[in-house]
Amino acid sequence: MDLEAARTARESLDLAFHISNILDTGLDRHTLSILIALCDLGVNPEALAALVKELRRKRPSSSSLPLAPPSVS
Protein backbone atom coordinates (compact mmCIF):
# COMPACT_ATOMS: atom_id res chain seq x y z
CA MET A 1 0.00 0.00 0.00
CA ASP A 2 1.47 3.35 -0.95
CA LEU A 3 1.65 6.28 1.44
CA GLU A 4 -1.31 8.12 -0.09
CA ALA A 5 -3.56 5.05 0.13
CA ALA A 6 -2.48 4.46 3.73
CA ARG A 7 -3.22 8.09 4.62
CA THR A 8 -6.65 7.89 2.98
CA ALA A 9 -7.45 4.62 4.79
CA ARG A 10 -6.39 6.12 8.14
CA GLU A 11 -8.50 9.25 7.53
CA SER A 12 -11.50 7.11 6.58
CA LEU A 13 -11.14 5.03 9.75
CA ASP A 14 -10.78 8.22 11.82
CA LEU A 15 -14.00 9.57 10.32
CA ALA A 16 -15.86 6.28 10.83
CA PHE A 17 -14.61 6.13 14.44
CA HIS A 18 -15.75 9.71 15.03
CA ILE A 19 -19.22 8.87 13.69
CA SER A 20 -19.23 5.69 15.80
CA ASN A 21 -18.51 7.76 18.91
CA ILE A 22 -21.22 10.29 18.07
CA LEU A 23 -23.68 7.42 17.73
CA ASP A 24 -22.37 5.97 21.02
CA THR A 25 -21.84 2.50 19.53
CA GLY A 26 -19.22 1.54 22.10
CA LEU A 27 -16.98 0.13 19.39
CA ASP A 28 -13.26 0.66 19.80
CA ARG A 29 -11.11 1.66 16.82
CA HIS A 30 -9.69 -1.84 16.34
CA THR A 31 -13.10 -3.56 16.37
CA LEU A 32 -14.49 -0.95 14.00
CA SER A 33 -11.59 -1.49 11.58
CA ILE A 34 -12.25 -5.26 11.61
CA LEU A 35 -15.96 -4.72 10.93
CA ILE A 36 -15.16 -2.34 8.05
CA ALA A 37 -12.67 -4.83 6.60
CA LEU A 38 -15.30 -7.58 6.75
CA CYS A 39 -17.77 -5.33 4.91
CA ASP A 40 -15.09 -4.60 2.29
CA LEU A 41 -14.76 -8.37 1.81
CA GLY A 42 -18.48 -8.63 1.12
CA VAL A 43 -19.90 -9.64 4.49
CA ASN A 44 -23.44 -8.35 4.94
CA PRO A 45 -23.28 -5.27 7.24
CA GLU A 46 -26.75 -5.96 8.66
CA ALA A 47 -25.65 -9.48 9.60
CA LEU A 48 -22.53 -8.05 11.28
CA ALA A 49 -24.64 -5.54 13.22
CA ALA A 50 -26.94 -8.33 14.38
CA LEU A 51 -23.93 -10.41 15.43
CA VAL A 52 -22.42 -7.53 17.42
CA LYS A 53 -25.74 -6.94 19.18
CA GLU A 54 -26.09 -10.63 19.97
CA LEU A 55 -22.54 -10.92 21.31
CA ARG A 56 -23.07 -7.87 23.51
CA ARG A 57 -26.32 -9.28 24.82
CA LYS A 58 -24.64 -12.56 25.76
CA ARG A 59 -21.45 -11.00 27.15
CA PRO A 60 -21.19 -11.41 30.92
CA SER A 61 -20.73 -8.25 32.92
CA SER A 62 -17.14 -7.39 33.76
CA SER A 63 -17.84 -7.82 37.48
CA SER A 64 -18.62 -11.51 36.98
CA LEU A 65 -15.43 -12.27 35.04
CA PRO A 66 -12.77 -14.18 36.97
CA LEU A 67 -9.68 -12.19 37.86
CA ALA A 68 -7.32 -15.06 37.06
CA PRO A 69 -7.62 -18.22 34.99
CA PRO A 70 -8.64 -21.32 36.97
CA SER A 71 -5.72 -23.28 38.31
CA VAL A 72 -4.97 -26.66 36.85
CA SER A 73 -4.40 -29.40 39.44
Tens of pLDDT along 10-48?
999 999 999 999 999 999 999 999 999 999 999 999 999
pLDDT band per the 50, 70, 90 thresholds, residue 63:
very low
Q: What does pTM read for this prediction?
A: 0.72
Amino acid at 33: S
Asked if 39 and 48 count as a contact pair (C-beta separation under 8 A), the reply is yes
- Please classify residue 44 by burial: count the beta carbons closer than 10 Å to its beta carbon, then call 0-12 exposed, 13-18 middle and 19+ buried: exposed
